[in-house]
């Protein structure tokens, strides 16, 4: 084994982060002797392959944590790091903030998620609005996820378009586990005169709801359960959520799941 290869495990993530900072800010890469060395090239390749298995992308540059694997969407898709790390990403966080601040419409959601061929886990955090509530382009390639988390952090002035859930979910062929959290029953808005996606629902095995059941959410579940693949439904409600609400969700399904869990968060 070459000496420079032996050095790779000895270099810490902190050292690499410092070198990246120097390369982007204080020192031009061509002026850095270390950046030109074989050790640095091997370490950079090693780091991209391993540390970028999890990646966070934000719709705008607000208080982003200062670590290498966190970018705005705009920064990342135009950065040389993207072409080197996209094939290694397994877990992706897309964070869309308040509707009046996020530049969602500038970056096409179906195109973003298809840039990562090895993607197995996706979290959408923030507000689903704008383009999400319009029929998205039908997928041109198959997408299968082990886990999809929709973490809607409701702001007082924001509501969730019901069609946004349909349109996002219809981008996938199968989802082993779907988690929906942070949506109060009053947070749904049904768009008037806006058609929802006509694509068939994905095959979903397990659904975990960490939010209050609602009529709109029940409609989404009925749509998801139509293929008959839903095996487990977990409803984790709030204190004011009674068992009858969870049972009403199940009664409305075309076929009851084999496993049902109902719990109340105190």
Q: CB 101: neighbour CB atoms within 10 A?
A: 13
Question: How much is the pTM?
Answer: 0.71
pLDDT value of position 232: 92
pLDDT string in tens for the chain (266-residue length): 454 444 555 555 556 555 655 555 544 444 444 445 555 666 666 665 555 677 777 765 444 444 445 567 777 777 776 777 788 788 888 877 654 444 444 356 777 888 888 899 999 887 665 555 556 565 556 789 999 998 876 555 556 667 777 888 888 999 999 998 877 666 566 555 555 667 788 999 999 988 777 777 788 888 898 888 999 998 887 655 666 777 777 888 888 888 888 776 65
Rounded to 10 deg, the angle between the 243-251 and 215-225 helix axes is 40
Max CA distance (Å), the chain: 68
State whether residue 52 is helix, strand or coil.
Answer: coil
Alpha-carbon distance of 143 to 245, in angstroms, equals 32
pLDDT value of position 56: 78
Rounded CA Rg of the chain? 21
Alpha-carbon distance of 73 to 58, in angstroms, equals 6
Please report, for the chain, the start and end positions of each structural domain, with discontinuous segments joined by +: 1-51, 54-264
pLDDT value of position 174: 93
């Amino acid at each position: 084994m070459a000496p420079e290869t032996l050095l790779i495990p000895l270099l810490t993530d902190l050292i690499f982060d410092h070198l990246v900072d120097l390369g982007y800010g204080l020192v031009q890469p061509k002026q850095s002797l270390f950046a030109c060395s074989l050790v640095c090239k091997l370490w950079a390749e090693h780091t991209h392959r391993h540390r970028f298995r999890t990646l966070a992308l934000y719709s705008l540059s607000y208080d982003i944590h200062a670590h290498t694997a966190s970018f705005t969407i705009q920064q990342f898709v135009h950065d040389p790091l993207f072409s080197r790390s996209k094939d290694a990403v397994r877990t992706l966080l897309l964070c869309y903030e308040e509707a009046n601040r996020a530049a969602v419409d500038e970056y096409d959601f179906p195109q973003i998620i298809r840039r990562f061929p090895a993607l197995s886990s996706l979290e959408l955090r923030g507000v689903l609005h704008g383009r999400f509530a319009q029929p998205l382009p039908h997928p041109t390639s198959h997408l299968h996820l082990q886990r999809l988390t929709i973490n809607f952090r409701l702001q007082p002035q924001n509501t969730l378009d019901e069609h946004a859930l349909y349109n996002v979910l219809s981008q996938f062929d199968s989802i082993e586990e779907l988690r929906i959290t942070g949506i109060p029953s009053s947070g749904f808005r049904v768009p008037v005169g806006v058609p929802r996606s006509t694509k068939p629902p994905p095959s979903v095995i397990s659904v975990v709801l960490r939010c209050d059941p609602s009529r709109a959410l029940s409609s989404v579940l009925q749509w998801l359960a139509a293929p008959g693949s839903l095996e487990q439904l977990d409803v984790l409600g709030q204190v004011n959520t009674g068992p009858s609400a969870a049972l009403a969700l199940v009664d409305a399904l075309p076929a009851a799941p084999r496993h049902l869990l109902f719990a109340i968060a105190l």
